[in-house]
Homo-oligomer: A and B are copies of this chain.
Amino acid sequence: MTVSQNFNDWMLSNQRAIEDALSSYLPSVQQVPARLHEAMRYTALDGGKRVRPLLVFAAGALFDVDAGLLTRAAAAVEMIHVYSLVHDDMPCMDDDALRRGKPTVHVKYDEATALLVGDALQAQAFTVLSEGNGDAVRTLAMIRLLAQAAGSAGMCGGQAIDLASVGKSLSLPELEQMHRLKTGALLRASVFLGALCGKMLEPGEEAALDAYANAIGLAFQVVDDILDVTADSSTLGKTAGKDAADNKPTYVSILGLDASRQMAEKLLEQAQSALLPFGSKAERLNQIAELIVHRNA
């Protein structure tokens, strides 16, 4: 992966910022119930590439933003993402023992705790967003976007389609719809939440960000499917080859490896051309699109 030193520094500094933000916005283990709070911190802190918070920060660079609200937005989307991982890993869903290189919450603690950790993280995401003292109208718009992206018309809905599709053959449009909901909706929300920290969006800005978000959302999943067959578990920090073993439809199983790689490159072009109206202010969003497509884990 070719990442410029400048982008790498930006990424590291923002990954540190999101780590600090999550740590301060998650309840302390001194607070009752200590074990639940310990488990929430165990799963949310010190792990992951933080792609969604990076998207929030990168979209925030488009405008003059309220920095406090931006950090809250980054923490909130990551809490939603982390909660979804905790629940997805549970025995009744994907039944996975390893996540971000660590035992999953139901393995390290127990299933009931994993269920509550996810539930409490979702509530905490909305707490963090709503406790800011920025502009009320824009904050409300951000909450609305995040809630819609997390719910049955977004992430949860995609997960339900995913579960129902195991062992079935999906058409390419069906696979795309599943991923648009399952991972695309929250990536899109990350971009829009970051932008809304600056201003309410004009229709043209909204359309450009929509095109960008749709392209990187799809690219994210195509690359995930590629890595599932080409990378090993220790690099991924989760069990590799799992989709094939579970007989889940993927881009690689439908299109093959080469065509999937070409599709990812084409989506990168689409994402970057959608950002042209923003000029150099979109530098970070451009670089994240490249990161998503050219990552190796």
Contact stretch, chosen from A2-10, A126-134, A240-248, A251-259: A126-134
Chain B nearest CB from A155 CB (Å) reads 8
Which residues between 91 and 148 of chain A lie within 8 Å of chain B, taking CB atoms? Answer: 92-93, 110-116, 118-120, 122-124, 126-127, 130-131, 136-137, 139-140, 143-144, 146-148
Q: Main secondary structure on chain A at its contact with chain B?
A: helix
Q: Does A156 contact B (CB under 8 A)?
A: yes
Q: How far is the CA of A17 from the CA of B66 in the complex (A)?
A: 40
In the bound complex, residues from chain B placing their C-beta under 8 Å from that of A92 are: 110-112, 114-115
Q: Does A1 contact B (CB under 8 A)?
A: no
Which residues between 25 and 67 of chain A lie within 8 Å of chain B, taking CB atoms? Answer: 27, 31-33, 35-37, 40
In the bound complex, residues from chain B placing their C-beta under 8 Å from that of A170 are: none
Contact stretch, chosen from A158-166, A207-215, A226-234, A278-286: A158-166
Chain B nearest CB from A160 CB (Å) reads 4
Q: Does A237 contact B (CB under 8 A)?
A: no
Q: How far is the CA of A120 from the CA of B155 in the complex (A)?
A: 9
**Contact string, A164-182, partner B, CB cutoff 8 A, digits 1/0?**
1000000000000100000
* Complex contact B152–A124 (CB within 8 A): yes
**A130-B144, A147-B130 in contact; A160/B113 too (CB < 8 A)?**
yes
* 29 A–B pairs (Cβ distance < 8 Å), ordered by A: A27-B152, A31-B152, A31-B153, A32-B177, A35-B160, A36-B152, A37-B152, A83-B119, A84-B119, A92-B112, A93-B112, A113-B160, A113-B163, A115-B115, A116-B159, A119-B150, A122-B122, A122-B123, A123-B148, A123-B151, A123-B152, A126-B147, A127-B144, A127-B148, A127-B151, A130-B144, A130-B147, A140-B140, A140-B143
